[in-house]
């Protein structure tokens, strides 16, 4: 009985950790690509997951999404890899239908082998076409979807 309880607690802890990862992925897709077509949302999800796989970034989805500079355990405004995370605004989704759609997509991306074909060809970076980040000149441009340009 003792071993069953221990196994059950480990399962609950593991399930909670994975649920947090899916939530972080969904929040990133929602805030970064809510106005993008399906392929744009998918591409932002793949960039997030490609970063998790890369040795150059944190090895969890939440670590990737929340990467940036911090002071007293708070992200410094406008000093994060994903701008929404430290823009000073609420991160709570306001558009219910868009949020539910994005959560379903994030769940499928995280758990399903259906999305094993990375449409971004390994992209780890992207930006909107109306900005010119310093790092873009050092990356290989792969594709553009709507107003997002993807690189590796």
Per-residue pLDDT of the chain (152 residues; tens, 9 = 90+): 555 444 444 444 444 446 899 999 999 999 999 999 999 999 999 999 999 999 999 999 999 999 999 999 999 998 999 999 999 899 999 999 999 999 999 999 998 866 678 999 999 999 999 999 999 999 999 999 999 999 99
Task: Kindly state the helix (H) or strand (E) to which residue 76 belongs, with its residue range.
Answer: strand 74-80
Tokens found for residue 4 = 């069953």
pTM of the predicted protein model? 0.85
- Asked if 68 and 85 count as a contact pair (C-beta separation under 8 A), the reply is yes
Structural domain span for residue 46: 2-151
| Burial 64-96, CB ≥16 within 10 A → b, else e | bbbbbeeeeeebeeeebbbbebbeeeeeebeee
Neighbouring-strand partners of residue 148: 128, 145
Q: What is the CATH number of the domain that holds 110?
A: 1.10.10.2520
Number of domains in the chain: 1
- Asked if 15 and 91 count as a contact pair (C-beta separation under 8 A), the reply is no
Task: Kindly state the helix (H) or strand (E) to which residue 71 belongs, with its residue range.
Answer: strand 68-71
């Amino acid at each position: 009985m003792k071993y069953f309880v221990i196994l059950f607690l480990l399962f609950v802890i593991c399930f909670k950790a994975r649920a947090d990862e899916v939530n972080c992925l969904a929040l990133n897709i929602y805030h970064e690509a809510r106005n993008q077509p399906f392929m744009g949302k998918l591409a932002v999800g793949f960039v997030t997951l490609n970063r998790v796989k890369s040795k150059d970034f944190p090895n969890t989805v939440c670590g990737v999404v929340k990467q940036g500079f911090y002071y007293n355990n708070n992200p410094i405004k406008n000093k994060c890899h994903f701008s929404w995370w430290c823009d000073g605004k609420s991160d709570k989704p306001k558009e219910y239908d868009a949020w539910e759609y994005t959560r379903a997509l994030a769940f499928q991306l995280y758990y399903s082998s259906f999305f094993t074909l990375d449409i971004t060809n390994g992209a780890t970076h992207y930006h909107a076409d109306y900005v010119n980040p310093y790092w873009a000149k050092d990356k290989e441009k792969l594709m553009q979807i709507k107003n997002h340009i993807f690189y590796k």
